[in-house]
Amino acid sequence: MTYVVTERCIKCKYMDCVEVCPVDCFYEGENMLVINPDECIDCGVCLVECPVDAILQDSEGGAEMWLQLNARYSKIWPNIVMKGEPPADANRWAGAINKLNLFSPQPGRQS
């Protein structure tokens, strides 16, 4: 079992989850974070830290697509181990729906 980051993270990226992860399994793209399912130890501490409920267990309904997306992008995005600043407009996107259709995952974080 593992946890996955879902659409709710897109354009929010608050990163509270990164601070509590004991195995540093989060990876950062331009629009969202993902979890490497091979590194996640299923501890669940990230789940309660996410202010927009963007993390769910891979066994939950609808998680299969997100498991694949997390696995794919965690192989190409840079690992993130410290909380950074969320996007300036994060609060605007926190409750938005259909964000995946509006913003496809982008390559890596632009510094």
Structure tokens at 8: 């709710």
The CA distance from 63 to 78, in Å, is 23
Determine the pLDDT at residue 111: 38
- Tell me the pTM: 0.91
Say how far apart CA 41 and CA 91 lie, in whole Å. Answer: 30
Mean pLDDT (whole number) for 9-26: 96
CB-based burial of residue 3 (10 Å sphere; 0-12 exposed, 13-18 middle, 19+ buried)?
Answer: buried
Q: Is the pLDDT of residue 45 over 90?
A: yes
Paired strand residues for 3: 57
Percent of the chain exceeding pLDDT 90 equals 85
